[in-house]
Amino acid sequence: MSVALQLGIIVGYLLLALAVGLVAYRTTDRTAEDFYLASRSVGTVVLLFTTFATLLSAFTFFAGPNIAYREGPEWVLVMGLMDGIVFAILWYVVGYKQWLLGRRYEYVTLGEMLGDRFGSRRLRGLVAGISLLWLFPYVMLQQVGAGTALQALTDGAVPYAVGAGLITAFMILYVVVAGFRGIAWTDTLQGAFMLVTTWIALAWVLAAVGGPGAATAALEAEAADHLALGGDFYTVQWMLSTAITIGFGVAMFPQVNQRFFAAGSEAVLKRSFALWPLLCVLLFVPSFLLGAWARGLDVAIAEGENVLPAVLAEYTPVWFAALVIAGAMAAMMSSSDSMLLSGSSYFTRDLYRPFVEGSVSERREDLLARLGVVGFATAAFVGSLVQPATLFELGDAAFSGFAQLALPVLVALYWRRTTRAGITAGILASQAFYLSSLFTAVVPSAYGGWTAGLVGMGLGLVVTVGVSAVTTPAADERRAIYFDGLGAD
Amino acid sequence: MARLVLWGWIVVAIGLCALTVPWFLWGDATVVAGIPLWLWWHVGWMGLAALVFRLFARRAWGLGIESGEGSSDGSTPPNAGVDPGGERR
């Protein structure tokens, strides 16, 4: 009964999304700028929720509450700092500046913006290449998550490969048809839906167990140290390292960074900026508290099973649990949709066009963009068949990998004397450092409790500034374009 | 003056980041109304941050970004609202 119901809800959701996508398709111009950015016309609610929904990957509903269950609810603080404060500040510092530049010079990607300023096709390709290097495993991770979830949901009736394949096929269809506008619309519906259902879930569970006081008392009896702030797992260094690297990493994630170009007006950016902290509290507090409280409640959680679905199954009706799980799976998919679209734009605009086929018509670029989506998704699907790894490890590596780009980009945006040699060296040095810390024993992964991701960011900053200071700008750099004549109107 | 305002806001931003996690409650397990005190602090702080962001968006938006604020080396005279001609592609 519950399996059929869950599948029914998931299929129903997919059909609804497809309907939204078709409406979006009808209002779409056949140009790459419209496909990628909805012609820079997005309003406050849609921009806020589409950015938010792309952040809500499998992590918020599965991995995050699992950690809160095992280690305590301090994750709320880490998420609040990274997404509600650090990212909100970057929303202004990086986002508003990028929006102004994107509107004036018609940039669609980060690589394009940097390549234009530094007069370097190679820098443009480098930024896109590095971004794809981190994006690809992250998309794959979402497919692994979806395949695993479908398999678990159906008790193996839908095998992992079939589940991941079906989801991939649907995503390709959806992204190719709907483009950015359709994705943003479904993200908005879905973000609002998840926010509401998470609170209903919390209310339902609390009503069943006798309120927050009783739930916390049960947690105290089971694991008293979870209530105290900090512990062996949540050290000061670890919390700060995680919040800072992920916060900066988010701003450089292609699907988030590209949204900086998509806002319809300055007012849209202003309004969304002030709403970030509130949205983060509204979502992360209930979902992580549910995970943390589950520890003290009488919920049997098997090894490797996700906490939130088990809690819902125990305390809420079958249809409601199915609705939330379907929503969480949809969240995974919406993250992937946006990533596919951005990945494809980085590939076609910053790698294919500059290096393979120079001048293309708008119609042809639009076609290339859609083909790019198919190629990227298929490759990630193949990856998901051969290379499974745990959600958290891969996800964390991707965020820290993107974080390495943030400080060289910030220096370039705000310091006129940044040179092409400086930013290139800064990006290469920090990437080399962080990749080495992941894959070799030569570079340690922790420094007195601080992570290699954070240390790598510092290295990128020092190298960018240092090399810029000792080199002279190349003749074709356009040093003034990030500074002169910038204004909203 | 503009420089002073800019630095003032930078200090505010750092302050907001610094106390999102109530470090002064480290190791504290006080529970108020069923929720740890440190989580109440966090919720309140995020509300405060939203208010401060709103104030910034109303009063100081554009600070450090729009021309006239950040361009100080005088190589090209900043002139807000005028396209630096010929550079648009």
Tokens 């005190």 belong to which residue? B37
Sequential pLDDT tens for chain A (489 residues) = 567 777 788 788 878 888 888 888 877 777 778 888 888 888 888 888 888 877 766 677 788 899 999 999 999 999 999 999 999 999 999 999 999 999 999 999 999 999 999 999 999 999 999 999 888 888 887 888 788 777 877 777 888 888 889 888 988 888 888 888 888 888 888 888 888 888 999 999 999 999 999 999 999 988 888 899 988 889 999 999 999 999 999 999 999 999 899 888 889 889 888 999 999 999 899 999 999 999 998 888 877 778 888 898 889 988 888 888 777 777 777 788 888 889 988 988 898 888 887 777 777 877 888 888 898 899 888 888 876 554 445 556 888 999 999 999 999 999 999 999 999 999 999 999 998 888 778 888 888 889 999 999 999 999 999 999 999 998 888 888 888 878 766
- Domain assignment present for residue B55? The answer is yes
Cα A268 to Cα A42: distance, rounded to the nearest angstrom: 8
- Domain assignment present for residue A246? The answer is yes
B47-65 residue pLDDT tens: 999 999 999 999 999 998 8
- Of A80, A224, A485, nearest to B42 by CB-CB distance is A80
- Domain assignment present for residue A472? The answer is no
Q: Looking at the 3D structure of chain A, how many domains does it have? A: 1
Between these two residues, B75 and A447, which has the higher pLDDT value?
A447
Q: Give ipTM to 2 decimals.
A: 0.89
Angle between helices A266-294 and A307-315 (to 10 degrees): 70
Tokens 């999304």 belong to which residue? A17
Structure tokens, A77:
């603080």
Domain that holds residue A301: 2-388
Taking Cα atoms as reference points, which of A288, A196, A316 lies closest to residue B36? A288
Whichever domain contains A175, its CATH number is: 1.20.1730.10
User: B-chain residues within 8 Å CB-CB of A266?
Assistant: 61
Contact B45, B70 (CB under 8 A): no
- Domain assignment present for residue B48? The answer is yes
In A254-299, at which residue ranges do the beta strands (DSSP E only) sit? none
To the nearest whole angstrom, how far is the Cα of B2 from the nearest Cα of chain A?
A: 16
Mean pLDDT of B24-30: 92
Taking Cα atoms as reference points, which of A444, A456, A467, A464 lies closest to residue A404? A456
CA A302: distance to chain centroid? 28
CA A489, B4, B9, B13 dihedral sign is positive
- Domain assignment present for residue A440? The answer is no
- Domain assignment present for residue B79? The answer is no
Most confident range (mean pLDDT) of A406-410, B1-5, B82-86 is A406-410
User: A-chain residues within 8 Å CB-CB of B64?
Assistant: 93, 414
Is pLDDT of B34 > 60? yes
Cα A167 to Cα A146: distance, rounded to the nearest angstrom: 7
Chains A & B: contacts with CB separation below 8 Å: 156
- Of A73, A274, A485, nearest to B79 by CB-CB distance is A485
- Of A212, A285, A487, nearest to B66 by CB-CB distance is A487
User: B-chain residues within 8 Å CB-CB of A281?
Assistant: 42-43, 46-47
Number of residues in chain B: 89
Tokens 């569970």 belong to which residue? A205
Instruction: Establish if A267 touches chain B: CB-CB under 8 angstroms.
Output: no
Burial class (CB in 10 A: 0-12, 13-18, 19+), A226: buried
Instruction: Establish if B44 touches chain A: CB-CB under 8 angstroms.
Output: no
- Domain assignment present for residue B14? The answer is yes
- Domain assignment present for residue A297? The answer is yes
To the nearest whole angstrom, how far is the Cα of A411 from the nearest Cα of chain B?
A: 13
Contact A278/B64, CB-based, under 8 Å?
no
User: A-chain residues within 8 Å CB-CB of B83?
Assistant: 104, 485
- Domain assignment present for residue B81? The answer is no
Burial class (CB in 10 A: 0-12, 13-18, 19+), A459: buried
- Domain assignment present for residue B45? The answer is yes
pLDDT confidence tier of residue B70, bands split at 50, 70 and 90: very low
Is pLDDT of B73 > 50? no
Contact B31/A276, CB-based, under 8 Å?
no
- Domain assignment present for residue A347? The answer is yes
**Which A residues 384-423 touch B at CB under 8 Å?**
414, 416
Instruction: Establish if A7 touches chain B: CB-CB under 8 angstroms.
Output: no
Is pLDDT of B89 > 50? no
- Domain assignment present for residue B9? The answer is yes
Contact B53/A273, CB-based, under 8 Å?
yes
Structure tokens, A19:
């309907």
pLDDT confidence tier of residue B78, bands split at 50, 70 and 90: very low
Q: Looking at the 3D structure of chain B, how many domains does it have? A: 1
Between these two residues, A323 and B34, which has the higher pLDDT value?
B34
**Which B residues 1-20 touch A at CB under 8 Å?**
13, 16-17, 20
Beta-carbon count within 10 A of B14 CB = 11
- Domain assignment present for residue A400? The answer is no
**Which A residues 109-128 touch B at CB under 8 Å?**
116
Q: Where are the alpha helices (DSSP H) in A83-159?
A: 87-90, 97-105, 110-117, 121-153
- Domain assignment present for residue B77? The answer is no
The three-point CA angle A250-A128-A382 to 5° equals 85
- Domain assignment present for residue A426? The answer is no
Q: A118 by DSSP, 3-state: which?
A: coil
- Domain assignment present for residue A406? The answer is no
To the nearest whole angstrom, how far is the Cα of B59 from the nearest Cα of chain A?
A: 11
* Predicted pLDDT at B80: 39
Domain that holds residue B41: 2-20+29-59
